[in-house]
Amino acid sequence: RQSIQQTYDLTRYLEHQLHALAATYLNYLGPPFNEPDFDPPRLIGAEAVPSATVDFQLWRSLNDNARLAANYQAYSHLLCYLRTMDGATPTAMPTLRHSLAHFRASLQGLLGSIAGIMASLGYPLPPPVPDGTPTPNSHFLRKMDDFWLLKELQTWLWRSAKDFNRLRKRVPPSAVMLHLETRGF
Amino acid sequence: AQRHSQQDSHTQYAQLGKDVTIQCGSVDRGAVVTWTANNTDLDASHLNGSWLVLRHVDLSHSGQYSCYEGSSWHLKYRVNLKVGTPPKEPVLMCRSNNYPNGFYCSWHLPSPTYIPDSFNITVKHDSKEIVCEKDASPKNRCYIRYLHLFSTKKYKVTLTVTNALGRNSTTISFDEFAIVKPDPPENVVAKPIPNNPRRLLVTWQYPSTWPDPDSFPLKFFLRYRPLIIDYWQHVELSDGTSHIITDAYAGKEYIIQVAAKDNEIGTWSDWSVAVHATPWTEEPKHLTTEAQGTETTTSSTSAFVVPSTTKMYDSERQAN
């Protein structure tokens, strides 16, 4: 459970990091993207970004494996998108590029942490994500995709925090230890 | 002459401060009629032929107006005049105090209209309309169940208010997480801790409206101050539902309140009900026997030996 707590703490740290990063990035995108009430339609490009939205009852009934797998797959996808965001940020904005790189590295850490928990609980990792990030055919559509990517990331981190809260309470430490022993640790 | 009053009653609305004309039903404009207001005759100055004209009406003009044909005193027309105002833009607020089950929206008008208003609310999410279940009471509130969680799409709520004199509406849009605001913590209790003159133990409970503390734990904010000082001290607690205040002023009565917030999303609750407590203070020690002779003692009910100087007092008490 210790590693679930650490993963939860990492999620909170990422959430905090993203809060600042998103504000900076949206300001870089400029109006209307940085306006609080901006509520654009979600176009095809952005539809491919894995959505955190989930049916309430379904989410409640997810077992631990499915809950972790959903997180793992989402961040695998989101990391691919983040890399495309990197390319779009002008070299003239080193601070933003640095923040993006730092955030991406932390997110990679979260992915590794989730994989670790899944392994320790004996769950198979979901298949790797095919890199199918669509390239928008206009600068404005690119910005729209980035807007939705940041929003999804924020929402996924909230969802993950709730998922790990649930797991912390439900996964007894012995379950983790038992599995490690059977794997000869 | 006997007035014949068989006539079904009509309702007419008039806007506060405006002029209003009431026709005597289908009676000819030139006919001779008499008008009464709440059965009191109105003088001819208000008449324009058979029409009744009221200038700059106010609320006191509301009432029952009846029109009688001049010669036969036959009731030709009766109307209930209701003076009011068109609705101003309503104030609409949505909040989730039992996340993730759902959220409620409540509304009110910034000023009364004095006439019946009807409200219609529509809730849209991801271009789908969601049912807002009206509460039996209070009437100006309805409840929306979350069908989906962790949505990036905003909720859009439109409230339209209509009455006989006009219509108005307001629209708000918000993210799922922005409106999460728990109710205040409940059963806040503060107690002194024996033998600790500077400590107070504060305990509280999750608001009973918060449905799933395991998945959605709350963090808490505690504020406390001595009654005599107007400056709050604060402490944020991310786990648990108790706290020991360790820096209380000895012997001073404290006022304590707690607020709650979801760990990641939404805003802080209102402050809980205030509770009062005073840290433990040592019982005043009584003089030992050596010091008796030099000090008079007040009567004491404590278990210590009663000083000899009070013997005379005891014998008098036994005599009574």
Residues of A within 8 A of B265 (CB-CB) are 158
How many secondary structure helices (H) and strands (E) does chain B include?
1, 24
Check CB contact under 8 Å for A148 and B264: no
Measured between CA atoms, the residue of chain A closest to residue B172 is A37
Measured between CA atoms, the residue of chain A closest to residue B214 is A166
pLDDT at res. B304: 35
Average pLDDT over residues A39-63: 83
* Strands annotated E in B46-179: 47-48, 51-54, 63-69, 75-84, 91-95, 102-108, 117-125, 128-130, 133-134, 141-145, 148-149, 155-163, 166-174
Residue keyed to tokens 């404290």 = B254
pLDDT at res. B127: 87
Residues of B within 8 A of A56 (CB-CB) are 100, 146-149
Give the minimum alpha-carbon distance from A163 to chain B in angstroms, rounded to a whole number.
7
Q: How far is it, in rounded angstroms, from Cα B32 to Cα B177?
A: 68
Q: Is pLDDT of A42 > 80?
A: no
Q: Is pLDDT of A71 > 80?
A: yes
Residues of A within 8 A of B173 (CB-CB) are 37, 39
pLDDT at res. A131: 62
Amino acid at A30: G
For residue B316, give the H/E element and its range.
helix B311-319
For an interface test with B, which of A14, A49, A53 has the most B Cβ atoms less than 10 Å from its Cβ?
A53
For an interface test with B, which of A165, A166, A168, A170 has the most B Cβ atoms less than 10 Å from its Cβ?
A165
Measured between CA atoms, the residue of chain B closest to residue A164 is B215
Q: Are B276 and B255 in contact (CB under 8 A)?
A: yes
Measured between CA atoms, the residue of chain A closest to residue B100 is A56
What is the per-residue pLDDT across A114-133, written as a single tens digit (0 to 9) for each? 999 999 999 999 887 766 66
Q: How far is it, in rounded angstroms, from Cα A50 to Cα A132?
A: 12
pLDDT at res. B163: 97
Residues of B within 8 A of A51 (CB-CB) are 152
Residues of A within 8 A of B152 (CB-CB) are 51-53, 148, 151-152, 155
Q: Is pLDDT of A97 > 90?
A: no
pLDDT at res. B301: 37
Give the minimum alpha-carbon distance from A15 to chain B in angstroms, rounded to a whole number.
9
SS (H, E, C) A53-76: CEEHHHHHHCCHHHHHHHHHHHHH
Q: Where are the alpha helices (DSSP H) in chain A?
A: 2-29, 44-47, 56-61, 64-88, 94-120, 139-170, 173-182
Cβ of B282 under 8 Å from any chain A Cβ? no
What is the per-residue pLDDT across B153-183, written as a single tens digit (0 to 9) for each? 999 999 999 999 999 999 999 999 999 999 9
For residue B50, the number of C-alpha atoms closer than 13 Å in the C-beta half-sphere is 19
Give the minimum alpha-carbon distance from A54 to chain B in angstroms, rounded to a whole number.
5
Q: Please give the share of chain A, as a percent, with pLDDT higher than 70.
A: 80
Residues of A within 8 A of B213 (CB-CB) are none
For residue A134, the number of C-alpha atoms closer than 13 Å in the C-beta half-sphere is 16
DSSP state letter for B154 = P
Q: Is pLDDT of A164 > 50?
A: yes
CA angle (A23, A26, A28) in 5-degree steps:
110
Q: How far is it, in rounded angstroms, from Cα B27 to Cα A181?
A: 100
ipTM score of the complex?
0.86
**pLDDT tier at A81 (50, 70, 90 boundaries)?**
confident
Antiparallel, parallel or unpaired: β A54-55 and B63-69: unpaired
Measured between CA atoms, the residue of chain A closest to residue B264 is A158
Check CB contact under 8 Å for A56 and B100: yes
pLDDT at res. A168: 83
Amino acid at B60: S
Q: How far is it, in rounded angstroms, from Cα B153 to Cα B176?
A: 8
Q: What is the pLDDT along chain B (320 residues), one digit of tens a residue?
A: 455 555 567 999 999 999 999 999 988 998 999 999 998 989 889 899 999 999 999 999 999 999 998 767 789 999 999 999 999 999 999 999 999 999 999 999 999 999 999 999 999 998 899 999 987 777 899 999 999 999 999 999 999 999 999 999 999 999 999 999 999 999 999 999 999 999 999 999 999 999 999 889 999 999 999 999 999 999 999 889 999 999 999 999 999 999 999 998 999 999 999 999 999 998 776 655 554 444 444 433 333 333 333 333 344 444 44
Measured between CA atoms, the residue of chain B closest to residue A60 is B215
Give the minimum alpha-carbon distance from A183 to chain B in angstroms, rounded to a whole number.
30
B216 → closest Cβ in A54, A148, A162: A162
Amino acid at B169: S
Check CB contact under 8 Å for A59 and B149: yes
Check CB contact under 8 Å for B216 and A165: yes
Give the minimum alpha-carbon distance from A185 to chain B in angstroms, rounded to a whole number.
31
* Omega prior to A127 cis, within 30 of 0: no
User: Can you say whether residue B288 is alpha, beta or left, with left for phi > 0 and alpha for psi between -120 and 50 degrees?
Assistant: beta
What is the per-residue pLDDT across B239-292, written as a single tens digit (0 to 9) for each? 899 999 999 999 999 999 999 999 989 999 999 999 999 999 987 766 555 544
Check CB contact under 8 Å for B263 and A51: no
Between B61 and A165, the more confident residue is B61
For an interface test with A, which of B96, B128, B151, B152 has the most A Cβ atoms less than 10 Å from its Cβ?
B152
Antiparallel, parallel or unpaired: β B196-205 and B186-193: antiparallel
Residues of A within 8 A of B154 (CB-CB) are 39
Question: In this complex, how many residue pairs, one in chain A and one in chain B, have their CB atoms less than 8 Å apart?
Answer: 62
Check CB contact under 8 Å for A156 and B150: yes
User: Can you say whether residue B126 is alpha, beta or left, with left for phi > 0 and alpha for psi between -120 and 50 degrees?
Assistant: left
